[in-house]
Amino acid sequence: MSVIDILTRVDAICKKYEKYDVERLNGDNVAGDDAFARLYASVDLDVESALQKAETASQEKNRAAVVALNAEIRRTKARLLEEVPKLQRLALKKVKGLSKEELSTRNDLVLALPDRIQSIPDGSTNGAKATGSWTASASRTEIRFDSTSDGRFESEYFQQTEESNQFRQEYEMRKMKQDQGLDIISEGLDTLQNMAHDMNEELDRQVPLMDEIDSKVDKATSDLKNTNVRLKETVNQLRSSRNFCIDIILLYIILGIAAYLYNVLKK
């Protein structure tokens, strides 16, 4: 049996016995119709996972991995802080089956949330301490621009540890990848520009043609209108009631003559 077959069979069996999955059911029931509870549960989960990441970051040796983890944690924190106002709004809404005390506890929980989020360590306060070689830049707060090629490299503060070397390498790699990506984007833009120019010229080419078509169609419509009006007059003349009645009377006369002849010949 191939892997795909095994996977499909496992999926089918799981689906069959879903109703016995107590954990999932519990999770579902707790959330249920309550939007606040759902959102709060997810935010809680995110905070827990962020705390775990912070733990791993503090134990990690590789400087570059630490920075990456910290960046992720910071992103998660920013996202969670955005969710907090939503939670506040939901907390104030009244849900059926909920007592007054529960409502006020919800409010408190939501208010406590931002503090919890902020307290997740993301290495931003530890950064200056850990990298001894960069403290020089922290003291020079008045100089804003980030220069990598200044005299500091020659000073005795510069200690080339293995970690900082790796860090530097990773930085170069990422820069190269960015450059590659930008190259691809620029090629695409070139093609776009060329196509846009060609489309421009094509449209310019078609403008006088459209004008011609326009004038010709105008002429055709006015001709058609003329013809229609004349046709209407002619048809009206033909259908004027006098001619019509005369036609009917003559028809009757002919029918009468035919009937008379028929009778005569029958005898």
Residue 46 and residue 113: Cα distance in Å, rounded?
Answer: 12
Binding mask 154-173 for another protein (x = CB under 8 A): --------------------
When the beta carbons of 132 and 188 are compared against another protein, the nearer one is 188
Overall size of the chain counted in residues: 267
Cβ(128)–Cβ(138) under 8 Å? yes
User: Residue 119 Cβ, how far from another protein at the closest point, in Å?
Assistant: 51
Site for another protein in 184-223 (CB under 8 A): 187, 190-191, 194, 197-198, 200-201, 204-205
Q: Give residue for tokens 């590659």.
A: 180
User: Residue 181 Cβ, how far from another protein at the closest point, in Å?
Assistant: 15
> Which residues, including other chains, have CB under 8 Å from residue 114's CB and lie 6 or more apart?
81, 84
When the beta carbons of 119 and 200 are compared against another protein, the nearer one is 200
Size of the site for another protein (CB under 8 A): 10
When the beta carbons of 124 and 194 are compared against another protein, the nearer one is 194
Give the Å distances, CA to CA, from 260 to 153, 248, 249, 263, 267: 132, 18, 16, 5, 11
What DSSP line would sit under 96-115, residue for residue?
TT--HHHHHHHHHHHHHHHH
From the list 74-82, 113-121, 161-169, 183-191, the region that binds another protein by CB under 8 A is 183-191
Q: Residue type for 158, please?
A: F
When the beta carbons of 48 and 187 are compared against another protein, the nearer one is 187
Return residues touching another protein (CB under 8 A): 187, 190-191, 194, 197-198, 200-201, 204-205
